[in-house]
Each structure stands twice: as C-alpha cells, then as structure tokens.
C-alpha cells in the first residue's frame, strides 16, 4: 500500500529554521514528482513547492510566499522528500502535507507552529 | 499568478439530491496539448485531501462515477450525483496549468 509519512514538525520561534521530511513507500518514488501543500488552522489549502524527477533535472518550483526562504529536495535512494524552511514567519504556521504526482497520494500531515 | 474562485453551495443539500460546485480561473487552463489542467479534491473533516478528478474531467482511481467534472477553459463544475453522507466536506479546485500552482478557497458541502 502507498504510504507518505511526514515528520519533523514542531514549535519554533520567528526567524528560526526547521526541516520537515516525508518518507514514501508503496510506489516507484524515483518516477514521481513530489510536492508540499500547507493548511493554516481553519483555512484552505495552499500549494508550497514541487520537485520533479531526475529526467527533469530535479527542477523545483515555489509559491511566491515562500520563495527564497524554503527549499524542497529529495533523496531517491531513501525515498524521501524534504522541506527546509528558513527565516520562518508566524504566517507559516500550518499543517504541512506531502503529496505525490498530481495529488494522487497524501500523507497525514505534520504541524509546524511559528510563535514567540 | 492564476486566481481560482469557487462558488458557494446552498447548504445543507438533501441526501440523494445532486450538487454542483463551481470554480473559475483568471486565465485559461487549456495547455497546448489540448488538456485542461484543473484538479478537484475533497477534504473530509479531520482528513487529508483526496484527489477526485484531474485534466478537468478524468476521475482518479477508485473515485465513484457519481463525481463528474466538466467546464470550459476558465469555468468549471464538479457535479455530485445522489449525494451521500460520505460526500460531506470541503471541495477544492486547483490549477496546475502554470507555476505557482494555486487552489480555490474551498466550497463546503453539508448534508441534510
């Protein structure tokens, strides 16, 4: 069965950094583009970042709200995708979901809280 | 950036009736390959989103044929036939025509 399991969330202060991870299994990870979506408490979905596959040069794309602060990466040998979040702001507080391809598969989400 | 605007449903919807959810994009979502890059998701309370349709009208694997997507280049509809209790939740449209990808604000479906 397909599984996406996020980890690494928590409480951080503004301007700090945090790296969240997503472990994938049950499908050919190296063939799947991966992306992150977040959802602030009580709000809608916001697309955050996407990373393509090796044949597509691991191209990356970002939402305007996180460009220059967040970095998406992947390790095909470990079937992992990461989101490095720097210079965090209170408005980055959200549940972060890992998802594959066009949104076929989703993890259960990991909570990131940015507060002083 | 492409702005996605979703309509509001006249809730609650009686079980067994049909419901149509609308979504409008600020730019055509038709790509040069002829496909329309519009996805629909359902997020049930307390759960992760679930993909319902992609390319505007292609149902995702395992999705009931009660869900059908249609539309033009900038105006889209997700129709749910014979609404059931498990259809309750928030529906989101998403454009994947160009970066940054964007979601609509969501449309809540409540059942009577």
**Cα(A47)–Cα(B2) distance, rounded to whole angstroms?**
12
pLDDT per residue as tens digits for the range A30-75? 999 999 999 999 999 999 999 999 999 999 999 999 999 999 999 9
Q: For residues B54 and B61, is the Cβ–Cβ distance under 8 A? A: no
Q: How many CB atoms lie within 10 A of CB B95?
A: 27
Residue A102 contacts B where some CB pair is shorter than 8 Å: yes
From A14's Cα to the closest Cα of chain B, the distance in A is 25
| B84-110 per-position pLDDT tens digit | 999 999 999 999 999 999 999 999 999
- Are A102 and B96 in contact (CB < 8 Å)? yes
- Whether B99 has its CB under 8 Å from any CB of chain A: the answer is yes
A51, exposed or middle or buried, with CB in 10 Å at 0-12, 13-18, 19+? buried
Tell me how far the alpha carbon of residue A42 is from its chain's centroid: 19
Distance between start and end Cα atoms, chain A: 40
CB pair distance less than 8 Å for A106 and B102: no
Please, are residues B103 and B6 in contact by the beta-carbon 8 Å criterion? no
């Amino acid at each position: 069965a397909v599984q996406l399991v996020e980890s690494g969330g928590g409480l951080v202060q503004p301007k700090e950094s945090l790296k969240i991870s997503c472990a994938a299994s049950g499908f050919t990870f190296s063939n799947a583009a991966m992306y992150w979506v977040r959802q602030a408490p009580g709000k809608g979905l916001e697309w955050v970042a996407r990373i393509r596959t090796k044949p597509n040069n691991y191209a990356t794309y970002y939402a305007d709200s996180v460009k220059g602060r967040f970095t998406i990466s992947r390790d095909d040998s470990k079937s992992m995708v990461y989101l490095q979040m720097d210079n965090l702001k209170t408005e980055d507080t959200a549940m972060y979901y890992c998802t594959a391809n066009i949104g076929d598969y989703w993890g259960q989400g990991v909570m990131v809280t940015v507060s002083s | 950036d492409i702005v996605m605007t979703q309509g509001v449903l006249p809730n609650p919807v009686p079980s067994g009736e049909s419901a149509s959810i609308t979504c409008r994009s600020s730019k055509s979502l038709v790509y040069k390959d002829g496909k329309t890059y519009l996805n629909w998701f359902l997020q049930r309370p307390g759960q992760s989103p679930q993909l319902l349709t992609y390319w505007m009208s292609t149902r995702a694997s395992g999705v009931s044929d009660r869900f059908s997507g249609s539309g033009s280049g900038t105006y889209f509809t997700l129709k749910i036939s014979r609404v059931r209790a498990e259809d309750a939740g928030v529906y989101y449209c998403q454009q994947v025509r160009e970066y940054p990808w964007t979601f609509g604000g969501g449309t809540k479906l409540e059942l009577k």
